[in-house]
Each structure stands twice: as C-alpha cells, then as structure tokens.
C-alpha cells in the first residue's frame, strides 16, 4: 500500500509540473520524499502540522489558498473551522523560516511566492 501511495504521489507531482521531489521557493527547499525543509542549505525543524501547511502552500505556489482550504487539508472534517490555528501555524512558519515566502492576501488567504 505504501508503494502504491508513493507512486500516486509521484504521478501527481509530474502532472502538476513537479517532476522533482524538491520544491523550491527562493532559498526555501521542501523535499517531499524525505520530509526535510531547508533554508539556504540549513535544516529547519517543523511540526507535522507546520509541514503539512507549508507543503500545501508550496505545491500551490503562486496561487491564493484560503484559510478554509488549508483547514480542510490539514485537519479531519470534524475540526472546529472557526479556530485560528492556521494563523498560528503560518506565524510559526514565518518565524522559523526567516524568509518572506508566505504572503497574506488580505481577505482571501495565503500565497507562497519567491521572496
């Protein structure tokens, strides 16, 4: 089952133009195969939820992702959608990454862009 999931993920990456397992946004690199995140070559430790938020944003680089869409991706369906946890995770990511990769699009959501 794990191999099947890995093959499906690889097909999806290639279909979206991500032939490599690494997604880069300026000096930030996310390796989807190993789950590692580096900024200018230095490793960054992220929690599982922080990684999921960052991964989702980087896979949709340049696109605005709403808070609701992020919540649906990160949590189970029975999660309280009025919570501000997405804002907390984005704030933590901004502090840990130290780069201006995640931008807030006022009234719409967040966007990962090259700084």
- pLDDT value of position 17: 59
Q: What are phi and psi of 100, to 5 degrees?
A: -90, 65
Residue 100, domain extent: 2-112
The answer to whether residue 15 scores a pLDDT higher than 90 is no
If pLDDT is split at 50, 70 and 90, which confidence band does 78 have?
low
| pTM of this structure | 0.77
Question: Which CATH number fits the domain that encloses residue 99?
Answer: 1.10.10.10
Of the candidates 115, 66, 75, 73, the residue with the CA atom closest to the CA atom of residue 94: 115
If one counts the domains in the chain, the total is 1
């Amino acid at each position: 089952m794990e191999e099947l999931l890995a093959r499906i993920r690889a097909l999806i990456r290639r279909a979206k133009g991500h032939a490599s397992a690494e997604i880069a946004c300026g000096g930030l690199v996310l390796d989807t195969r190993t789950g590692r995140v580096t900024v200018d070559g230095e490793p960054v430790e992220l929690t599982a939820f922080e990684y999921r938020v960052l991964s989702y944003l980087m896979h949709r680089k340049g696109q605005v992702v709403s808070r609701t869409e992020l919540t649906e991706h990160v949590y189970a369906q029975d999660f309280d959608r009025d919570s501000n946890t997405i804002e907390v995770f984005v704030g933590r990511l901004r502090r840990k990454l130290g780069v201006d990769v995640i931008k807030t699009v006022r009234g719409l959501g967040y966007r990962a862009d090259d700084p």
